[in-house]
A = this chain, B = another copy of it.
Amino acid sequence: MKTKQEKTKTPSISPYRLALAQINPTVGDIRGNTDKIIASMRDAVKLGADMIAFPELAITGYPPEDLLLKPRFIKANEDALNSIIPHTKKIAAVVGFALRGDDGRLYNAAAVMAGGRLVDIYRKVHLPNYGVFDEIRYFTPGDQCPVYEHHGMKFGVTICEDIWFPEGPVRAEAEAGARLIVNINASPYHMGKISERRELVTGLARDCNVAIAYLNTVGGQDELVFDGGSMVADANGRIIMNAPQFDEGIYSVDLNLSAAENVVSDDDWTVPVALPQTPRSAKREIVKPPMAKAPSREAEVYEALVLGTRDYTRKNGFREVLVALSGGIDSSIVASVAVDALGAENVHGIFLPTGYTSDESRNDAFALAKNLGIAIDEISIEGLFRQYLETLAPLFHGRKPDITEENIQARIRGNIVMAMSNKFNRLVLTTGNKSEMSVGYATLYGDMAGGFAVIKDVPKTLVYDLCSWRNKKARKRWIPENVLVKPPTAELRPNQKDTDSLPPYDALDPVLKAYVEDDKSLDEIISEHCHPECASRVIRMIDLSEYKRRQAPPGVKITARAFGRDRRYPITNRYRDEG
C-alpha cells in the first residue's frame, strides 16, 4: 500500500508527458496564430511536457480556402514555421502548416520538431473532398508514414482524415513500431459527431494496438464550428483523457508506454527517426488529465451556436450585435445565444411593429429583453409601410394584395436594421431557422438581411428544445414561457399563422432531414414519414428556394448536412423527384 502511494506522489520520470494544445486560431492571422503557438509551447514546458501537439493547419487557421492559392500566403506560413522552430529547444512539437514541397506542390503537413530543430515533415495522406471539404483543390496527398523516437518513445503522426481509414497510416505506423499516434485535426462540429470520433479512435487504437492522441482545433470559422473535444485512447481502446468541447486549453496526459513497447518485435523493418533529446525535469507536478462528461444534445448544440456567434462577431472585428425581436421563439433563442456569446451589454434588441403586430408579441419581446438584460428600441414601421403602398399604388393599380405586401414589411425591417448596423457598427444577427430556410419561408433582403444567421441550420423543433433547455439552465426567468407555447406567426397579415403556409413543424422537420441530409427519394420519404401530398409539396418548396439560400448570410453548421458549402445545389435545376 505504502509503495503504491509513494509511486503516485513521486512519479518516476519514465511516463511520457504529452500536451495537446486545443487552441483557437483565426484563419489568415498567421502572426497571431504563431504567437499563440509559441506561448502554448512555453506553458507546456512549464507543465513538464515532453511533447506538445497543435491542430491541423494551426499556423494558417482552417480552412484557409483559396488563400492557399496565393504564393505569398504560403511563404508567410512557412516563415512563421521557421520562427517557431527555435522555441522547441526544451520540448518536442508537432505543428500543422501548409508545405510547398520541392516538387512545387502543396501539402497539408505537420512539422515534427525538437531540440530547436525541424526534424521531419509529415504529409497528410488522405485528403477529404466531400461535404464541406475541398482539400484536393489545394493539396497533393503524401505517401510516407515514418516513425519517430523521442526519449525512447516511438510515435507516428497523422492528420485528420488519415485515421478514418482502417488500413491507412495509423496501421502502417503501428506496424512499423509506433506506440503512439499523434493525430492532429480540424474537424468541424455536427450533432453527435463526437461519439463517431470516440468510436473510431477507441476501435482503431484497439485494432492496431497503439495509443492514439486525437487533437482537435476549437473555434468558429464562418459556417463551421470546430468543437475541440480532444481525446486520448490507450492501446486497449480505453479513453484516458477527454478534453472539453468548445473550450480552448492545453490538456496533458502521462503515457506509460513501456509495457506496450515490449510487444514490438525486434525485427521492425523501420528505423525510427530520432528526435534530439530535450531536457526532462526529475520532479514534475502530477497532472490529472481532464475527463469531460458528454453534454446533452441541447447543451452541445447551444454551445456550438454560442462559440460560432462569438467567433464570427469578434474575429470580424465587431463588438456589438443587433437582433430584431419579434416576440417569437426564433429571435428569442438568437438573442439568448448572443447574450451568452458576447454579454448582455453588447446585444441590442429592436422591436419593429406594424398594424398586424399583437400586444402579445410586444409583451413577449420586452419581457425577453428585460429577462436577458439587453437594451431594446421600438420603431413602428406602419408609417413607412403605408407610404410604400401609396408610392406603389399607381403601378399596382387593380392588383390585389398578395405576398408582395408581406415582403415589403419584412424589407422595411431589413432596411432599418441595416441602417442601425451602419450607423452604430453593430453586426445584425438574423433569426431564420433551418425549417424556414429549407422551404423558403423567409423574405430575401427582409428578415434574411444581416451578417450572421445564428440558427440557420437548426430545425424549428430543435429551436423549441434549445429554449426549454436554456430556460431550465437559467434558474430564473429567461425566455418567456408564452413564447414557447403560442403558435408561430410571421404577423405580416391579419391572423396569419405559419401553419397557413406550412405543415406543422413536427411533420415538416422529419421530411427536411430525410430529403436534405439523407438524400432520400420521395418514395422513401412517403413510406417512412409522411402523407404523399405533404412530402411532395415540401420537397418542391425546398427545390424552388435554392435562389434564396444562395443569398443568405452564413450561419453555424450543426447538422450532418447544412445548406451552403456543405450542400451544393444548382439554382437552375429542373430535376423533380416525382416518386
Q: How far is the CB of A133 from chain B (nearest CB, A)?
A: 9
Instruction: Tell me which residues across on chain B come within 8 A of A371, comparing CB atoms.
Output: none
How many Å lie between the Cα of A69 and that of B568 in the bound state?
Answer: 10
> Assuming the A-B contacts A129-B137, A415-B415, A577-B72, are A316 and B571 also in contact, with contact meaning beta carbons closer than 8 angstroms in the complex?
yes
Asked if A418 CB lies within 8 Å of chain B CBs, one says yes
Residue of chain B at shortest CB distance from A565: B568
C-beta contact mask, A559-579 vs B, less than 8 Å → 1, else 0?
A: 000000001111111111100
Option from B73, B129, B381, B416 in Cβ contact (under 8 Å) with A136: B129
How many Å lie between the Cα of A565 and that of B415 in the bound state?
Answer: 28
Asked if A221 CB lies within 8 Å of chain B CBs, one says yes
> Assuming the A-B contacts A28-B570, A381-B391, A570-B221, are A575 and B418 also in contact, with contact meaning beta carbons closer than 8 angstroms in the complex?
no
A201-223 contacts to B, CB under 8 A, are 220-222
C-beta contact mask, A398-428 vs B, less than 8 Å → 1, else 0?
A: 0100111001100110111011101100000
> Assuming the A-B contacts A570-B67, A574-B32, are A419 and B407 also in contact, with contact meaning beta carbons closer than 8 angstroms in the complex?
yes
How many Å lie between the Cα of A40 and that of B506 in the bound state?
Answer: 48
How many Å lie between the Cα of A265 and that of B130 in the bound state?
Answer: 45
Asked if A27 CB lies within 8 Å of chain B CBs, one says yes
Q: How far is the CB of A451 from chain B (nearest CB, A)?
A: 7
Instruction: Tell me which residues across on chain B come within 8 A of A391, comparing CB atoms.
Output: 379-381, 383-384, 416
Q: Are B445 and A415 in contact (CB under 8 A)?
A: yes
How many Å lie between the Cα of A137 and that of B131 in the bound state?
Answer: 8
How many Å lie between the Cα of A521 and that of B379 in the bound state?
Answer: 47
A342-389 contacts to B, CB under 8 A, are 377, 379-381, 383-384, 387-388
Asked if A65 CB lies within 8 Å of chain B CBs, one says yes
Q: Are B388 and A415 in contact (CB under 8 A)?
A: yes
Asked if A519 CB lies within 8 Å of chain B CBs, one says yes
28 of the cross-chain contacts (CB-CB < 8 Å) are A26-B574, A27-B572, A28-B574, A29-B575, A30-B575, A32-B574, A67-B569, A67-B570, A70-B519, A70-B521, A72-B577, A73-B575, A129-B137, A134-B137, A312-B572, A379-B391, A384-B387, A388-B419, A392-B416, A392-B420, A407-B418, A407-B419, A408-B419, A411-B414, A411-B418, A414-B445, A547-B553, A554-B571
Asked if A196 CB lies within 8 Å of chain B CBs, one says no
Q: Are A572 and B222 in contact (CB under 8 A)?
A: yes
Residue of chain B at shortest CB distance from A552: B551
How many Å lie between the Cα of A381 and that of B537 in the bound state?
Answer: 38
C-beta contact mask, A509-527 vs B, less than 8 Å → 1, else 0?
A: 0000000000101100000
Q: Are A67 and B575 in contact (CB under 8 A)?
A: yes
Residue of chain B at shortest CB distance from A131: B137
C-beta contact mask, A123-167 vs B, less than 8 Å → 1, else 0?
A: 000000110001011000000000000000000000000000000
Instruction: Tell me which residues across on chain B come within 8 A of A311, comparing CB atoms.
Output: 572
How many Å lie between the Cα of A331 and that of B76 in the bound state?
Answer: 42
Interface size class, chain A: 35 or more
Instruction: Tell me which residues across on chain B come within 8 A of A399, comparing CB atoms.
Output: 423
List 7 A-B pairs, minimum CB-CB distance, nearest first: A28-B575, A29-B574, A72-B521, A404-B422, A445-B445, A28-B573, A411-B415
Option from B384, B444, B519 in Cβ contact (under 8 Å) with A388: B384
How many Å lie between the Cα of A72 and that of B387 in the bound state?
Answer: 49
Instruction: Tell me which residues across on chain B come within 8 A of A575, comparing CB atoms.
Output: 27-30, 64, 67, 73, 76
Q: How far is the CB of A124 from chain B (nearest CB, A)?
A: 15
Q: Are A521 and B71 in contact (CB under 8 A)?
A: yes
How many Å lie between the Cα of A575 and that of B550 in the bound state?
Answer: 25
C-beta contact mask, A303-341 vs B, less than 8 Å → 1, else 0?
A: 000000001100110000000000000000000000000
Asked if A259 CB lies within 8 Å of chain B CBs, one says no
Asked if A66 CB lies within 8 Å of chain B CBs, one says yes
How many Å lie between the Cα of A445 and that of B417 in the bound state?
Answer: 12
Known pairs A28-B575, A130-B137, A380-B391 / 14 extra A-B pairs, C-beta < 8 Å = A26-B574, A27-B570, A66-B568, A70-B577, A71-B519, A71-B521, A134-B134, A315-B572, A316-B547, A379-B392, A395-B420, A408-B419, A414-B415, A444-B449
Instruction: Tell me which residues across on chain B come within 8 A of A381, comparing CB atoms.
Output: 391
Q: Are A222 and B570 in contact (CB under 8 A)?
A: yes
Q: How far is the CB of A504 from chain B (nearest CB, A)?
A: 26
How many Å lie between the Cα of A444 and that of B552 in the bound state?
Answer: 11
Q: How far is the CB of A350 from chain B (nearest CB, A)?
A: 9
> Assuming the A-B contacts A67-B575, A388-B419, A391-B416, are A451 and B547 also in contact, with contact meaning beta carbons closer than 8 angstroms in the complex?
yes
Asked if A188 CB lies within 8 Å of chain B CBs, one says no
How many Å lie between the Cα of A69 and that of B560 in the bound state?
Answer: 14
Residue of chain B at shortest CB distance from A377: B395
How many Å lie between the Cα of A544 and that of B26 in the bound state?
Answer: 15
How many Å lie between the Cα of A445 and that of B403 in the bound state?
Answer: 18
C-beta contact mask, A243-256 vs B, less than 8 Å → 1, else 0?
A: 00000000000000
Option from B67, B394, B449 in Cβ contact (under 8 Å) with A573: B67
Option from B29, B449, B569 in Cβ contact (under 8 Å) with A65: B569
How many Å lie between the Cα of A576 and that of B69 in the bound state?
Answer: 14
How many Å lie between the Cα of A296 and that of B134 in the bound state?
Answer: 36
C-beta contact mask, A176-194 vs B, less than 8 Å → 1, else 0?
A: 0000000000000000000
Asked if A48 CB lies within 8 Å of chain B CBs, one says no
